Protein backbone atom coordinates (compact mmCIF):
# COMPACT_ATOMS: atom_id res chain seq x y z
CA UNK A 1 0.00 0.00 0.00
CA UNK A 2 1.21 3.50 -0.69
CA UNK A 3 2.58 5.62 2.16
CA UNK A 4 1.08 8.81 3.50
CA UNK A 5 3.67 11.60 3.58
CA UNK A 6 3.61 15.16 4.79
CA UNK A 7 6.15 17.90 4.01
CA UNK A 8 6.19 20.96 6.22
CA UNK A 9 8.56 23.86 6.72
CA UNK A 10 8.91 25.01 10.33
CA UNK A 11 11.02 27.47 12.26
CA UNK A 12 13.54 26.17 14.76
CA UNK A 13 11.05 27.05 17.49
CA UNK A 14 8.33 25.02 15.80
CA UNK A 15 6.17 27.56 14.00
CA UNK A 16 4.71 27.09 10.53
CA UNK A 17 3.58 30.72 10.44
CA UNK A 18 4.39 33.89 12.32
CA UNK A 19 2.04 35.96 14.49
CA UNK A 20 -0.89 37.97 13.14
CA UNK A 21 -1.92 35.67 10.32
CA UNK A 22 -4.67 37.12 8.12
CA UNK A 23 -6.52 35.82 5.06
CA UNK A 24 -4.22 37.90 2.84
CA UNK A 25 -1.10 37.11 4.90
CA UNK A 26 -1.53 33.43 5.83
CA UNK A 27 2.15 33.06 6.79
CA UNK A 28 1.98 35.85 9.39
CA UNK A 29 4.79 38.22 10.32
CA UNK A 30 8.14 36.85 9.28
CA UNK A 31 6.59 33.59 8.11
CA UNK A 32 7.62 34.00 4.48
CA UNK A 33 11.27 33.86 5.60
CA UNK A 34 10.74 30.19 6.52
CA UNK A 35 10.48 29.40 2.83
CA UNK A 36 13.64 31.14 1.62
CA UNK A 37 15.25 27.74 0.99
CA UNK A 38 12.62 26.96 -1.65
CA UNK A 39 13.45 30.07 -3.65
CA UNK A 40 17.06 31.00 -2.92
CA UNK A 41 18.54 27.52 -2.83
CA UNK A 42 16.50 25.65 -5.42
CA UNK A 43 19.43 23.72 -6.78
CA UNK A 44 20.87 22.57 -3.46
CA UNK A 45 17.43 21.42 -2.38
CA UNK A 46 16.22 19.98 -5.68
CA UNK A 47 15.60 16.44 -4.34
CA UNK A 48 13.47 17.70 -1.48
CA UNK A 49 11.54 20.09 -3.70
CA UNK A 50 10.87 17.29 -6.17
CA UNK A 51 9.84 15.02 -3.31
CA UNK A 52 7.13 17.45 -2.28
CA UNK A 53 5.46 17.08 -5.66
CA UNK A 54 6.05 13.38 -6.32
CA UNK A 55 2.87 11.98 -4.83
CA UNK A 56 0.10 10.23 -6.72
CA UNK A 57 -2.62 12.18 -4.91
CA UNK A 58 -2.84 15.10 -2.49
CA UNK A 59 -5.04 16.13 0.38
CA UNK A 60 -5.38 19.74 1.50
CA UNK A 61 -7.48 21.78 3.86
CA UNK A 62 -10.04 24.22 2.57
CA UNK A 63 -8.01 27.19 3.85
CA UNK A 64 -5.11 26.11 1.72
CA UNK A 65 -7.38 25.83 -1.30
CA UNK A 66 -9.27 29.07 -0.83
CA UNK A 67 -8.40 30.88 2.39
CA UNK A 68 -10.88 31.11 5.27
CA UNK A 69 -14.55 31.86 4.63
CA UNK A 70 -16.83 30.75 1.83
CA UNK A 71 -15.31 30.66 -1.62
CA UNK A 72 -16.84 32.03 -4.77
CA UNK A 73 -18.37 29.38 -7.02
CA UNK A 74 -15.78 30.12 -9.70
CA UNK A 75 -12.73 29.86 -7.36
CA UNK A 76 -10.15 27.48 -8.83
CA UNK A 77 -7.29 27.68 -6.30
CA UNK A 78 -4.22 29.91 -6.07
CA UNK A 79 -2.10 28.07 -8.59
CA UNK A 80 -3.30 29.33 -11.97
CA UNK A 81 -4.70 27.11 -14.71
CA UNK A 82 -1.91 24.51 -14.41
CA UNK A 83 -1.33 23.77 -10.70
CA UNK A 84 1.95 22.05 -9.77
CA UNK A 85 0.28 18.88 -8.46
CA UNK A 86 -0.41 17.11 -11.76
CA UNK A 87 -2.54 14.62 -9.85
CA UNK A 88 -5.87 14.41 -8.06
CA UNK A 89 -6.18 16.78 -5.09
CA UNK A 90 -8.77 16.14 -2.39
CA UNK A 91 -9.92 19.30 -0.61
CA UNK A 92 -11.43 18.90 2.86
CA UNK A 93 -14.48 21.15 3.07
CA UNK A 94 -18.07 21.43 4.22
CA UNK A 95 -19.07 22.98 0.90
CA UNK A 96 -20.26 20.43 -1.66
CA UNK A 97 -19.01 21.00 -5.16
CA UNK A 98 -18.41 19.17 -8.42
CA UNK A 99 -14.75 18.31 -9.20
CA UNK A 100 -12.76 21.01 -10.99
CA UNK A 101 -10.45 19.77 -13.68
CA UNK A 102 -7.37 21.88 -14.30
CA UNK A 103 -4.67 21.66 -16.93
CA UNK A 104 -1.75 19.24 -16.57
CA UNK A 105 -3.56 16.50 -14.70
CA UNK A 106 -4.65 18.28 -11.52
CA UNK A 107 -8.26 17.76 -10.50
CA UNK A 108 -9.66 19.34 -7.35
CA UNK A 109 -12.12 17.00 -5.66
CA UNK A 110 -14.17 18.23 -2.72
CA UNK A 111 -14.65 15.90 0.23
CA UNK A 112 -17.28 16.73 2.81
CA UNK A 113 -17.26 13.58 4.94
CA UNK A 114 -13.99 13.89 6.84
CA UNK A 115 -10.30 13.11 6.79
CA UNK A 116 -10.57 9.31 6.67
CA UNK A 117 -12.86 9.42 3.67
CA UNK A 118 -10.51 11.85 1.93
CA UNK A 119 -7.61 9.51 2.63
CA UNK A 120 -9.47 6.49 1.28
CA UNK A 121 -10.28 8.33 -1.92
CA UNK A 122 -6.71 9.67 -2.25
CA UNK A 123 -5.24 6.20 -1.71
CA UNK A 124 -7.44 4.80 -4.45
CA UNK A 125 -6.44 7.60 -6.81
CA UNK A 126 -2.72 7.32 -5.99
CA UNK A 127 -2.43 3.63 -6.79
CA UNK A 128 1.09 2.53 -5.84
CA UNK A 129 2.32 6.11 -5.43
CA UNK A 130 2.34 8.01 -2.13
CA UNK A 131 -0.48 10.16 -0.83
CA UNK A 132 0.77 13.57 0.35
CA UNK A 133 -0.89 15.70 2.97
CA UNK A 134 -0.23 19.03 1.28
CA UNK A 135 -1.27 21.29 4.18
CA UNK A 136 -2.03 23.55 5.79
CA UNK A 137 -0.70 22.91 9.24
CA UNK A 138 -4.13 22.38 10.75
CA UNK A 139 -4.86 19.61 8.27
CA UNK A 140 -1.44 18.08 8.95
CA UNK A 141 -2.16 18.14 12.70
CA UNK A 142 -5.49 16.39 12.15
CA UNK A 143 -3.83 13.56 10.24
CA UNK A 144 -0.93 13.36 12.71
CA UNK A 145 -3.29 13.20 15.68
CA UNK A 146 -5.29 10.47 13.99
CA UNK A 147 -2.12 8.42 13.42
CA UNK A 148 -2.60 8.44 9.67
CA UNK A 149 0.78 9.78 8.52
CA UNK A 150 3.64 7.38 7.78
CA UNK A 151 6.42 9.83 6.96
CA UNK A 152 6.81 13.38 8.21
CA UNK A 153 9.39 15.38 6.29
CA UNK A 154 10.33 18.45 8.24
CA UNK A 155 12.21 21.29 6.63
CA UNK A 156 13.59 23.25 9.57
CA UNK A 157 14.43 26.88 8.82
CA UNK A 158 17.33 28.21 10.91
CA UNK A 159 15.43 31.01 12.58
CA UNK A 160 13.07 31.60 15.45
CA UNK A 161 9.73 33.34 15.02
CA UNK A 162 8.90 33.66 18.71
CA UNK A 163 5.15 33.44 18.15
CA UNK A 164 2.62 32.21 15.61
CA UNK A 165 1.07 28.89 14.69
CA UNK A 166 2.85 25.83 16.04
CA UNK A 167 2.93 22.69 13.94
CA UNK A 168 2.99 20.15 16.74
CA UNK A 169 0.66 21.63 19.35
CA UNK A 170 -1.97 19.16 20.44
CA UNK A 171 -0.82 16.17 18.41
CA UNK A 172 -0.19 14.14 21.56
CA UNK A 173 2.83 11.98 22.28
CA UNK A 174 4.40 10.96 19.00
CA UNK A 175 7.34 8.61 18.69
CA UNK A 176 9.28 8.96 15.47
CA UNK A 177 12.43 7.68 13.87
CA UNK A 178 14.71 9.91 11.81
CA UNK A 179 15.61 8.06 8.63
CA UNK A 180 17.49 10.75 6.73
CA UNK A 181 19.05 14.12 7.52
CA UNK A 182 20.52 16.63 5.13
CA UNK A 183 20.51 20.33 4.58
CA UNK A 184 21.89 23.55 3.22
CA UNK A 185 22.52 27.02 4.63
CA UNK A 186 18.83 27.90 4.82
CA UNK A 187 17.26 24.62 5.84
CA UNK A 188 17.76 21.31 7.61
CA UNK A 189 15.76 18.40 6.22
CA UNK A 190 14.78 15.55 8.52
CA UNK A 191 12.67 12.63 7.35
CA UNK A 192 10.80 10.92 10.13
CA UNK A 193 9.03 7.61 10.07
CA UNK A 194 6.17 7.78 12.51
CA UNK A 195 6.10 4.80 14.84
CA UNK A 196 2.68 3.64 15.90
The residues of the shown chain that bind a second copy, judged by CB under 8 A, are: 12-14, 30, 154, 156, 158-162, 166, 168-178, 181-185, 187-188, 190, 192
Q: Which is nearer to a second copy, 48 or 102 (CB)?
A: 48
- Which is it for strands 15-17 and 175-184: parallel, antiparallel or unpaired? unpaired
**Which of 127, 122, 49 minimizes the C-alpha distance to 91?**
122
First to last CA, the chain: 17
φ and ψ at 112, to 5 degrees? -110, 0
Q: Which is nearer to a second copy, 70 or 181 (CB)?
A: 181
- The distance of closest approach from Cβ of residue 145 to a second copy in the complex, given in angstroms and rounded to an integer, is 11
Segment (H or E) for 184: strand 175-184
- The distance of closest approach from Cβ of residue 192 to a second copy in the complex, given in angstroms and rounded to an integer, is 6
170's torsion region: left (phi>0), alpha (psi -120 to 50) or beta? left
Using a CB cutoff of 8 Å and minimum separation of 24, what contacts does 35-40 make?
Answer: 35/9, 35/157, 36/157, 36/186, 37/9, 37/155, 37/157, 37/184, 37/186, 37/187, 38/9, 40/186
Q: Which is nearer to a second copy, 30 or 56 (CB)?
A: 30
Contact 83, 89 (CB under 8 A): yes
Amino acid sequence: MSRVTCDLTVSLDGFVAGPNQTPTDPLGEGGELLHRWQFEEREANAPELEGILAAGAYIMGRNMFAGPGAWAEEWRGWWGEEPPYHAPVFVLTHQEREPVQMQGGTTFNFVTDGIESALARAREAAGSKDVAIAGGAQTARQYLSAGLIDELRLHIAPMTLGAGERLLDGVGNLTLEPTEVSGSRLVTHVRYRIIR
